[in-house]
Structure 1
Amino acid sequence: MRGSLLRKSRGMLVGSVMALGVVGLTAAPASAWSGGNVWVNFGDWNCPGGGSVVGVYWAVDAYSVGPAGGDWGDNVIYPRVRVGSGAYNTLSYQTICKKWGWYQYRGVVGSRSLTPYKSGLSYTY
């Protein structure tokens, strides 16, 4: 009785070690990203009807979002993003354009992938 119990426990131990080895081989490497910010500049080509970018509504995945009323006053935003190894972000945006000194309209709606390796980088779209 004692011998069969010992064989069973050895078998379970060997099986467990093998299972852990398989899991270790198939596990994906851990991502090493952290939070940071990048500069994003929107060119006037984001105003298909002419004029210049004066505001941007934006969000980065479910990670960060701009002010509810939009980011106004210029064509630059500074969103919080994932930076470093494994950092993948999707920036969704809509530009607000100004033309003739008073007329404002909604410009381009788009999304871009950002994979910054460090905080403080600058992108132009």
Structure 2
Amino acid sequence: MFGMVAPAQAWTGGNVWVNFGSWNCPAGGSVVGIYWAVDAYSSGPATGDWGDNVIYPRVRVGSGSFNTLSYQLMCKKWGWYTYRGVVSQRTLTPYKSGLSYTY
């Protein structure tokens, strides 16, 4: 007789907070805009997410969740000079919606 195995719980959709610190601006300044996408699952506005250093992307949450957040930060320095930061990626595996990550 074979044992019964419970099916693995699948991931569901949710959102998490992602905060980017000013240390991500290689030439100094602070984060004022973010271009981002989570795999092919969700993405920010084509014109970028402007006004602060925080995004609230739609991600996969729960058992089996695996997300690759790709982003490019826009940094502002001297009150007028805005420049593009390095393109980067982070892996997110949230167990529930509403979690906060700081990079």
TM score, norm. by length of structure 1: 0.76
Q: Aligned-pair distance for 1:108?
A: 2.3
SS in structure 1 at match of 2:62: strand
Give the ranges of 4+ consecutive aligned residues of structure 1 lying more than 4 Å apart after TM superposition.
none
| C-alpha distance in structure 2 between counterparts of 1:31 and 1:44, whole Å | 37
Between Structure 1 and Structure 2, the one with more strand by share is 2
* Alignment-derived partner of residue 85 in structure 1: 63
Q: Aligned-pair distance for 1:109?
A: 1.3
Higher relative contact order (CA 8 A, sep 6+): 2
| C-alpha distance in structure 2 between counterparts of 1:30 and 1:94, whole Å | 34
* Alignment-derived partner of residue 114 in structure 1: 92
* Alignment-derived partner of residue 98 in structure 1: 76
How many residues are matched? 100
One-letter identity of the residue aligned with 1:48 = P
Percent identity (aligned):
83
* Alignment-derived partner of residue 44 in structure 1: 22
SS in structure 2 at match of 1:90: strand
SS in structure 2 at match of 1:45: helix
- Is 1:64 matched with 2:42? yes
Contact 2:8-2:63 within 8 A present in 1 as well: no
Structure 2 gap ranges (5+): none
Structure 1 gap ranges (5+): 1-20
Between Structure 1 and Structure 2, the one with more helix by share is 1
Aligned CA RMSD, in angstroms, stands at 1.6
TM score, norm. by length of structure 2: 0.92
